[in-house]
Structure 1
Amino acid sequence: MASVTITVTSGPVTTSLLPPARSATTLRNNCCSLLPLSPGLSYRRARRRNNVAASTKLVVRAARTESKGVSLGSRAPDFELEEPLTGNIWKLEDFESYPALLVMFICNHCPFVKHLKKDIVKLTDFYMKKGLGVVAISSNSVVTHPQDGPVFMAEDARNFNYPFPYLYDHSQNVARDYGAVCTPEFYLFKKDGRRPFELVYHGQFDDSRPSNNVGVNGRDLSMAIDCVLSGQPLPSNQKPSVGCSIKWHPEGNV
């Protein structure tokens, strides 16, 4: 888990993770990034802190997580989840007719997901027209992150014109069944006749991250999809997806 040190001085609050224009930040529990507040509020808070001490250092634990722990060749776990936008219930068996299925664990607030969101829509729309089945699932707790709840999921799906169903995993059991630990996280399964879906790719979208200045191109995931749809083997040395940790329900809150 990464650490970042923030120094509050008599000037603006600064952080090495964000450009100067967005240096005013608030620290959110269990979040993988520093999210912006209004500059005025941040500066007022900084001035109040400066009345107590000339300089204060805060160490923040950033929950940056890599996908891991899922074996290639494993079967796709069943699910039965509601789509907040339509109220429809979707099951794994609804995708049985597709030659391949992409299961994505995403959410509304995660900066890693926001960084890729428009390109995820473009990529999935392109490959769905070529026969790929696609479904997105949010498993984040609404207890800790209400902005990731069903009402806001429906708004997100509508605003970004998601071509795939965006389902809510309230119990978080589906995330556990898949071994999902972060957002975004991508699972690509292939179908061979009547055989169950088999995992062939569990890796990143591409090398781009919110702060590494690498352009988004979807290269890793698109190459994997191309291989599956054309019947070609996929490499086993797959780079893990990187993102925010899934926000699990606090104990006793389900």
Structure 2
Amino acid sequence: MLPLSTIAPEFYLKDTNSSNSFSFKDIKGEKGTLVMFICNHCPFVLHVLEEIVMIANDYTVQGIGMVAISSNDPVKYPQDGPDRMTEFAFKNDIDFPYLFDETQEVAKAYDAACTPDFYLFDSQNRLVYRGQLDDSRPGNNIPVSGSDLRNAIDGILYNRTIPEPQKPSMGCNIKWR
């Protein structure tokens, strides 16, 4: 896992929602920034997607920048290609940038392992949280709450200690080339 206090790795990727390209600096929030690795087909992502969108709606207005990145190989997984990402974002009300990591270099720089995977940076671009959304998984009957990630974001916003230990995300492995 990417060590806490790591400065956010820079990127410059094409947004499948707008056809613009964005860097970390472009999406950085005044109070912090959430970088999420997701994809279109993973059942773990689909299980929590509504909560991810609610978190974006709740926290972007409070100064948290948001971005989602898909790094999956679109040759082996065409449902995760850029054209399908645009459809997926529209269908699921994803209003924040949904970037395509064609070379997979960004996923490697973040040590991303699965989808979904969450990286929260403070206003100084230092990693303060990397881990799961919450304890809910497809089929485990625990309701999706976003509690772990929400607590970490609240820690940034209200100058609170971010709880330890941070549980790693669980999901589908990134589909490497």
Give the TM bin, normalised by the shorter chain. over 0.9
Corresponding residue to 1:87 among 19, 41, 58: 19
- The whole-number CA distance in structure 1 between the counterparts of 2:16 and 2:148 is 30
Tell me which residue corresponds to 2:172: 244
- The whole-number CA distance in structure 2 between the counterparts of 1:170 and 1:242 is 23
Q: Give runs of aligned pairs for residues 5-20 of structure 1, distance below 5 A.
A: none
What letter is aligned with 1:228? I
Q: Give runs of aligned pairs for residues 154-165 of structure 1, distance below 5 A.
A: 154-165=86-97
Corresponding residue to 2:155 among 221, 227, 236: 227
Identity percentage of aligned residues? 49
Runs of 4+ residues over 2 Å off in structure 1: none
Structure 1 residue 233: Cα displacement: 2.0
1:210 and 2:142 equivalent? no
Tell me which residue corresponds to 2:52: 120
Compare 98-107 and 231-240 and name the one that shifted more: 231-240
- The whole-number CA distance in structure 1 between the counterparts of 2:64 and 2:55 is 11
Q: Give runs of aligned pairs for residues 52-91 of structure 1, distance below 5 A.
A: 69-91=1-23
- The whole-number CA distance in structure 2 between the counterparts of 1:79 and 1:171 is 11
RMSD: 1.0
Structure 1 residue 235: Cα displacement: 2.5
1:152 and 2:80 equivalent? no
Tell me which residue corresponds to 1:130: 62
* Aligned residue pairs, count: 177
- The whole-number CA distance in structure 2 between the counterparts of 1:191 and 1:141 is 32
Whether the 8 Å contact between 2:15 and 2:22 is mirrored in structure 1 is yes
Q: Mind listing any 5+ residue stretches in structure 2 that lack a counterpart?
A: none
- The whole-number CA distance in structure 2 between the counterparts of 1:231 and 1:241 is 24
TM-score w.r.t. the length of structure 2 is 0.97
